Amino acid sequence: STDNLKSVKFGSPYLSQALAGLGVEASDDILGAVSGGGDSLALLHAISGLGWRSVRAVHVDHGLLPQAAAWGAQVLAAAVAMGVPCEVVRATVARTGEGPEADARAARYRALSAYMRPGEVLVTAHHADDQAETVLLRLVRGAGLAGLSAMAGIRAFGPGRLARPLLAVPKAALVAYATEQALTFVHDPSNDDTRYARNYVRHVLVPVITARWPRALEAINRAARHARAAEDLLAGYLAQDVARCSTADGALHLPALLKLAPGLQGPVLRAWLAGQGGPPLSDAKVAEVRAAFAVVPRSRRQVLRLGRAGALRRYRDRAVWDPEDRAKAETAVHQAWPPPFADLVLNDGRRLRALPGMGQGVAASRIAGERLYVMTRTFGQRVLVPGRGHRAVKKLLQEMGMAPWERSRAVLICAGEALIAVAGHWVCAQCKAGPDEPGLVFHIES
């Protein structure tokens, strides 16, 4: 609870209870994110006192200030003194036009995600004051319910989870703990620069608010909890609508989306896109995407770019989220595949597998002892389809309903000159396994 922040006494017992409340156990692998400031060092010191099985720490060096290397060395020394293994990782800050704060934050989380081990829990020192500042920032930017929910206590992140067990701990309690434990921490001068939005909220806006309403931070944190509870409830209902508007392979089925009430289309679109790993959409962008999807272009295809994050790609009645640059050249594949058809790593890094299945896929007797050939589509390519003669690969893949951006990555499997299967999509009628006949199902793993 954040109803009385002044009553919180921080330490290892509090942290253990807070982590347990988030579903983090002593058997989990813990990675503490340490900036070198008082908050994160207090967190690391408390973590070191838990006596848990696997604890380590990481410091991200953004390389933006001349003191960065010295800060990293100080964090390493502090972690060693606490008995916690620690490493410094370097983050490359890309200028995206979103502002230095956002760019540094994105670089930091990329570096942390890449450093994490599978199943590890990344623990950060975000506290109640940070949470209130986040709510205020999002409020003045016109955020909706999800934005006003602010930071979640725990969520999926990278190859594991991200936990924030201090969201009910005021900064004052962390300062008191750091002082009590005689922790020496660094001070980043950029945190005093009120040209940055969060610093302005922290140093200018919050003091004005709390001078008039001393318990305002507690109230703002309580409002964030209420917003998250409502958002979680709404998300449950939205998940049902997203499922009804999704195809078996996770694409967005546009006729189903457009049949929804206009006021529901935007939330479902946002929820589906978030589930695909896409970015949040403004009201204006939601309206733009809905209007585009309502019109079927003559080519039956659309590309709607969402800034640098990626693009929505539509073909016929389906839309998919594509975070990559599909304009780049695809790696061509042309490889022999001898029996017994062990897993084959393709030139582009994907893995082709032949999985046994009774009455499924290509009849095993049809290709017994035969060398197969694996390839991707090339311009103007034609193949021999048993019983149908030579066919243009493009037309064949169109008949399967395969989207244009999927066709260049389709894996064609041939026996001699004859196309017998397209992995994961199609098997030649004359080569299919009968109901009680052993077969091989060709499957692609990214």
Model confidence over 1-13: pLDDT tens digits?
A: 455 777 889 999 9
Q: What is the pTM of this model?
A: 0.69
Longest CA pairwise span in the chain (Å):
84
Look at residue 289 and tell me whether its pLDDT is greater than 70: yes
pLDDT band for position 328 (cuts 50, 70, 90): very low
Q: Are strands 318-322 and 351-358 parallel, antiparallel or unpaired?
A: unpaired
Give the Cα separation of 134 and 167 in Å (integer): 12
Is residue 246 over pLDDT 70? Answer: yes
Mind listing the domains of the chain with CATH numbers? 5-223 (3.40.50.620), 245-322 (3.30.465.60), 334-445 (no CATH)
Q: What is the pLDDT of residues 55-109, one digit of tens each?
A: 999 999 988 888 888 999 999 999 999 999 999 999 988 887 778 888 889 899 9
The count of other CB atoms within 10 Å of the CB of residue 135 is 23
- Our CA angle for 157, 18, 25, nearest 5°, is 65
Q: Which residues contact 436 (CB under 8 A, 6 or more apart)?
A: 358, 359
Q: How high does pLDDT run on average in the chain?
A: 91
Asked if the model's pLDDT at residue 283 lies above 50, the reply is yes
> How far apart (Å, rounded) are the C-alpha atoms in residues 114 and 132?
29
Q: Virtual CA dihedral for 211, 216, 220, 223, nearest 10 degrees?
A: -150
Cβ 113 vs Cβ 159: under 8 Å: yes
What's the pLDDT score for residue 325? Answer: 52
- Residue 78 and residue 183 in contact, taking contact as beta carbons nearer than 8 Å: yes
Averaged pLDDT, 120-129: 97
| pLDDT of 321 above 60 | yes
CB 44 within 8 A of CB 179: no
Q: What pLDDT is stored for residue 19 in this prediction?
A: 97
